[in-house]
A and B are shown apart, each in its own frame.
Chain A
């Protein structure tokens, strides 16, 4: 079975600064990896995913994540954050035969 650890429960950052949200996973099989974003009083929205191929994946709003198999990590990065990026971010792992496992979430707060 897989598991996910999000290393930071809260990340405060100033607007236009870079940010990294850290995610480590454990699994004995090949995995799919995901980042979801949740805005207040909303469900989770898929931000980006790694299924296969290029280890660097990007979202339409400037986030990117890199699958690092040797370090079992899938950290989320953005070079310059906006106030609107303030949200809860969840890392998740699955494989074709198992259900998804979610991390505990990281609250990103972007300050002006």
Chain B
């Protein structure tokens, strides 16, 4: 039973469109993360948050933005999608350093 939810699971969208990928968790975790991952490749941290109104950029430069208005919700937004944004996006959360819980991911294709 998933405690962290990502929607949509799959998204095909045209170039230039604005999109928001949703991530919600029901565990009360303070820390949340967004990773970008190409198929079969390593994870790249693009954004993270340590709590409400706290957001930081990760190791990989990204044209996306995030917000953290509520503890349970950490959406990621692309203002203008491009083919180079085609990838899988994974959301994760944790309370301490004792392991992350991951969502099922959103596979984005920009055509």
On A, residues with C-beta under 8 Å from B are: 32, 34, 36, 41-46, 49, 51, 88, 90, 92, 94-100, 102-105, 107
Contacts and interface: CB of A to CB of B under 8 A. Distances in A.
Nearest to A44: B102
B74 interface: no
Contacts of B92: 43-44
Contacts, number: 60
Interface of B: 6, 31, 33, 40-43, 45, 48, 88, 90, 92, 94, 96-105, 107
A43 B97 contact: no
Given A36-B102, A44-B92, A94-B97, 4 more contacts: A32-B99, A43-B102, A94-B99, A95-B97
A51 B48 contact: no
B105 to A, nearest CB: 5
